[in-house]
Structure 1
Amino acid sequence: MTQPRFDVLAIGNAIVDVIADSTDAFLAEQGLDKGSMRLIDQAEAVRLYGAMGPGREVSGGSAGNTAAGLAALGAKAAFVGQVADDELGAIYRHDITAAGVDFLVDPRSDVGATARSLILVTPDAQRTMNTFLGAAQMLDARDIDPAAIADAAILYLEGYLWDPDVPRAAMVKAIDAARAAGRKVAFTLSDTFCVDRHRDGFWKLLDDGRIDILFANEAEALAMAGTDDIEAAKARLAAAVPLLVVTKSERGASAIAGSERADVPAEPIERLVDTTGAGDLFAAGFLAGQARGLGLEASLKLGAIAAAEVIQHYGARPEKDLKALAGDLLA
């Protein structure tokens, strides 16, 4: 097998995050569940944007954040996601390219507006996300280049993009291309709402042996397994996938590969500011470790370091030098 051009090629929603400080009272007034993610239409996006406080525009999107984190850790990363030929689309393309990620899809003028997520952050650093998918849900199977997929050691997919029919077909094509090329496929469950809507489809991916690495947080793992026992959930999922990674917020993370298991604590932080992107950057660190041939524990450690950096500032892209923070792990 030839040496791949990319360590990881990520496919996901290309979204510009608009992040604003909020209060529990404002969330209640708007009828929003703190810590949740909901999909909204363009009219609701305009209404809520008018009601919320001043926002900071930061390029985001789950898989895009992971790609940016990978590049910050010195990995060769590419991203596939759809933006419109508009102002936010130009911002997104500039930001991810400037982060050192190869952006492989051209903007289009026939897909509506570029996606945006209105993220309300309360004083306890919980983020409540209101996402208008716009152009992101128009990623077409024609935009998937099998040669580019084959040129990546790992294909990484976000569960969020599984929801609309059009990009789901694109992701299926990408999985087919990766498997045909003998590459690994990583998948993140993204959110319990994704699991609730697509549990059967996700299980089919696992049962058919189409996923090599599965990322989940504890709530997602419980939802997938249909149990309230986290160890039972891990056991069931680990039996269905070669490598399972489960994050546990401030309690660290676990990885299980057959009979091998590793657990690491969360990295210490000075101040919790915004949890947006914590899981995305954890995946970046873990995948960077796997791309370098590191073991489970070292890969988990890299994930914890990357996640700790991103939750200490607003936005889901790293601001400090992740390679310096990783130290000897990347030496």
Structure 2
Amino acid sequence: MRIAVAGSIATDHLFTFEGRFADSLLVEQLSKISLSFLASDLQVRRGGTGANIAFGMGVLGHRPLLVGAVGKDAGDYLSWLQEHGVDTQAVRLSEDKATARFTCTTDDDQAQLATFYPGAMAEAAEIDIAALGAFDLVVIAPDDPGAMLRHSASCRDRGVAFAADPSQQLAFMDGASIRGLVEGASYLFTNAYEAELVHDKTGWSADDVLDRVGVRVITHGADGIVISRKGEDDITVPVAPARQIAEPTGVGDAFRAGFLTATAWGLSLERAAQVGALLATHVVETVGTQEYAFTKADFLSRFTEAYGEAACADISTHIGTDH
């Protein structure tokens, strides 16, 4: 199964604030907000939703094609991705813009305040995904909004299956753009809050969404994952227990990576969500979105603990193999 992952490629600057944002927020003064938080730690990591998803798929043994745009400062980053199983030949190199940058501060409640600078990502809209060859599935992750809409339209026009993953871009997209991105998707990924944004901005009900997509996947943080299909019972999958909680950035991207890789292996939706959930747990246990590592034996051991021996038997022959 050949999968292209179209999405942002960025560096993450992750700050830690020892306190609670909520203690400094005055509801009656939000229109005049002016706050500064003293960070106790800074971690500079590789990131970007497209790159994070592709990385996770690579470490699981798949070889996705990453589609996006970077600046000339991204040479080492692209080498890193290549070393971890990602095909980067479709990444566009900007002549005059720096690689996108994500800056995020996390407090003691794991609440986050973030800013994103697009930089070279703005050129992703100039990439013609149809010219990159044939794919079984195209993942349209957060990126330049024009690129996201172009890729989804291209897939619909050519009858290519695609997964819509609007994520944080939902906050900046209007209803027409969201409808244009989601319509006809084989998979729609959101968290619970983003799911409500889809409803609010498009005017679609939950049933309306299921009339337009094949599979809807909603993550609910510690409460697990719910998978919905029209006319079918929902599938609910719990999270895989974490050994420690370090930093949540990139958890959703890792879930998508695991889910999509297991889908490429031909596994059920339940198994796909379980693989995604365990990969996501590896991210929450580390600082940075691509800093996790595991052995096959350890992954299978933890999978058995979380989901049972029968579930582990279904995935054991796939982990670490190239599909």
Which interval holds the TM-score relative to the shorter structure? Answer: 0.7 to 0.9
Relative to structure 1, the CA distance from residue 235 to residue 80 in structure 2 (aligned partners, 3 Å threshold; closer, same or farther) is same
Q: State the Cα distance separating 1:188 from its structure 2 match.
A: 0.9
Relative to structure 1, the CA distance from residue 173 to residue 206 in structure 2 (aligned partners, 3 Å threshold; closer, same or farther) is closer
Relative to structure 1, the CA distance from residue 97 to residue 298 in structure 2 (aligned partners, 3 Å threshold; closer, same or farther) is same
Report the 3-state secondary structure (helix = DSSP H, G, I; strand = E; otherwise coil) of the residue aligned with 1:288: helix
Q: State the Cα distance separating 1:67 from its structure 2 match.
A: 0.8
8 Å Cα contact 2:52/2:290 also seen in 1: yes
Report the 3-state secondary structure (helix = DSSP H, G, I; strand = E; otherwise coil) of the residue aligned with 1:152: coil
Q: Which amino acid aligns with 2:211?
A: A
8 Å Cα contact 1:272/1:311 also seen in 2: yes
Report the 3-state secondary structure (helix = DSSP H, G, I; strand = E; otherwise coil) of the residue aligned with 2:70: coil
Q: Which amino acid aligns with 1:301?
A: Q
Superposition map of 1:194-213 within 5 A: 194-195=170-171, 197-207=173-183, 209=184, 211-213=185-187
Report the 3-state secondary structure (helix = DSSP H, G, I; strand = E; otherwise coil) of the residue aligned with 1:183: coil
8 Å Cα contact 1:127/1:274 also seen in 2: no
Residue matched to 1:115: 100
Q: State the Cα distance separating 1:280 from its structure 2 match.
A: 0.6
Relative to structure 1, the CA distance from residue 197 to residue 183 in structure 2 (aligned partners, 3 Å threshold; closer, same or farther) is closer
Q: State the Cα distance separating 1:95 from its structure 2 match.
A: 2.4
Distance 1:100 1:199 in 2: 36
TM-score, normalised to structure 1's length? 0.78
Residue matched to 1:220: 194
1:15 pairs with one of 7, 10, 14: 10
Relative to structure 1, the CA distance from residue 151 to residue 194 in structure 2 (aligned partners, 3 Å threshold; closer, same or farther) is same
Report the 3-state secondary structure (helix = DSSP H, G, I; strand = E; otherwise coil) of the residue aligned with 2:253: helix
Relative to structure 1, the CA distance from residue 137 to residue 106 in structure 2 (aligned partners, 3 Å threshold; closer, same or farther) is closer
TM-score, normalised to structure 2's length? 0.80
Q: Does 1:255 align with 2:223?
A: no
Write the deviation string for residues 148-196 of structure 1: whole angstroms up to 9, x where unpaired.
Answer: 2x4322101124532xxxxx1x3344334434554310011212x6246
Report the 3-state secondary structure (helix = DSSP H, G, I; strand = E; otherwise coil) of the residue aligned with 2:114: strand
2:240 pairs with one of 234, 256, 267: 267
The size of the alignment, in residue pairs, is 292
Relative to structure 1, the CA distance from residue 174 to residue 205 in structure 2 (aligned partners, 3 Å threshold; closer, same or farther) is closer
8 Å Cα contact 1:274/1:313 also seen in 2: yes
Relative to structure 1, the CA distance from residue 19 to residue 91 in structure 2 (aligned partners, 3 Å threshold; closer, same or farther) is farther
* Percent identity over paired residues: 24
Report the 3-state secondary structure (helix = DSSP H, G, I; strand = E; otherwise coil) of the residue aligned with 1:102: coil
Q: Which amino acid aligns with 2:219?
A: T
Superposition map of 1:172-211 within 5 A: 172-191=149-168, 194-195=170-171, 197-207=173-183, 209=184, 211=185
Report the 3-state secondary structure (helix = DSSP H, G, I; strand = E; otherwise coil) of the residue aligned with 2:174: helix
1:244 pairs with one of 206, 211, 216: 216
Q: Does 1:57 align with 2:44?
A: yes
Q: Which amino acid aligns with 1:9?
A: A
8 Å Cα contact 2:140/2:166 also seen in 1: no
Relative to structure 1, the CA distance from residue 125 to residue 287 in structure 2 (aligned partners, 3 Å threshold; closer, same or farther) is same
Unaligned runs of 5+ in 1: 34-47, 163-167
Superposition map of 1:116-135 within 5 A: 116-135=101-120
Residue matched to 1:67: 54
8 Å Cα contact 1:74/1:323 also seen in 2: no
Residue matched to 1:144: 128
* Cα RMSD (Å): 2.9
Relative to structure 1, the CA distance from residue 206 to residue 85 in structure 2 (aligned partners, 3 Å threshold; closer, same or farther) is closer
Write the deviation string for residues 208-230 of structure 1: whole angstroms up to 9, x where unpaired.
Answer: x2x21100111011121139xxx
Runs of 4+ in 1 over 6 A off after TM superposition: 25-29
Q: State the Cα distance separating 1:242 from its structure 2 match.
A: 1.0
Q: State the Cα distance separating 1:11 from its structure 2 match.
A: 1.0
Distance 1:91 1:266 in 2: 33
8 Å Cα contact 2:121/2:143 also seen in 1: no
8 Å Cα contact 2:258/2:279 also seen in 1: yes
Residue matched to 1:94: 79
Distance 1:106 1:206 in 2: 25
Relative to structure 1, the CA distance from residue 74 to residue 136 in structure 2 (aligned partners, 3 Å threshold; closer, same or farther) is same
Q: Which amino acid aligns with 1:83?
A: V
8 Å Cα contact 1:73/1:322 also seen in 2: no
